[in-house]
Each structure stands twice: as structure tokens, then as C-alpha cells.
Amino acid sequence: MVVFYHGLCLVSAEDRLLIRRKWYRGKKLGIQGNVVVADRIENLSSGIAFSRQ
């Protein structure tokens, strides 16, 4: 899976994330796998939230 986000979101390999998003099938976009365009990413490990709003 690929996740796109409007800004910069710093995470570590061990972080747990909650991603609010819109899903796209990769075949419709010409890529293999699924694509997520994130509106909000919450890092549950650190308590930091990144949002477009």
C-alpha cells in the first residue's frame, strides 16, 4: 500500500498509525497495489496528529 499526504508526517518503523483517508484501487491509477490519500494521520505511539485542516 502507498500512502500520500499533503504535508510532512514523521513516523518511525515501530509507530502505530490511524489514517483517515480515501482509498483508490491501484489499477485505476496505473500502478500495482492500493493507494491511500490521507486527510489525517494520527501517530498513536507519540500522540501527534497531522491534519490538512
Q: Which amino acid is at 30?
A: G
| Residue 4 CB contacts under 8 Å (≥ 6 apart), including other chains | 35, 36, 37, 38
* pTM score, whole prediction: 0.66
Tens-digit pLDDT string for the chain (53 aa): 677 777 877 788 899 989 888 777 777 667 777 778 888 889 999 999 988 76
Range of the domain at 20: 2-51
Total domain count, the chain = 1
The whole-number pLDDT of residue 1 equals: 63
The whole-number pLDDT of residue 16 equals: 93
